[in-house]
A = this chain, B = another copy of it.
């Protein structure tokens, strides 16, 4: 049986940016949290939508034709196959939901690619 998850407590356990941590599992999906600052990398996920909920701070999700601006308490789903590049000028904290095994950098790869750890 799982235990409850306090998001603020979990966010207090790490400082690094762009390295998602798994805090729960729903069926075949991970619930991940991540701290972000600066610009990520343009990428897409051909096989899965990409869910972002801002917990703290402000996130810009750059799409090829517009920017989506998210404050705390706002969410956005990037449809599968759509190129996007998250950016945060100041540190922000996010909750992500993605099928287990989803690679954070999607089709782009590169140095920001990381295997999420459970915390």
Overall SS of chain A's interface: strand
Contact B97 A4 (CB under 8 A): no
- Given A4-B68, A68-B4, CB of A49 within 8 Å of CB of B75: no
A41 adjacent to chain B (CB < 8 Å): no
A40 adjacent to chain B (CB < 8 Å): no
A24 adjacent to chain B (CB < 8 Å): yes
Contact digits for A59-72, partner B, Cβ 8 Å, 1 yes 0 no: 00000000011100
Q: A4-B74, A7-B75, A24-B51 are in contact. List 13 more A-B contacts (CB 8 A).
A: A1-B82, A2-B76, A2-B79, A5-B74, A5-B75, A8-B73, A24-B75, A24-B77, A26-B77, A26-B97, A31-B51, A31-B77, A55-B73
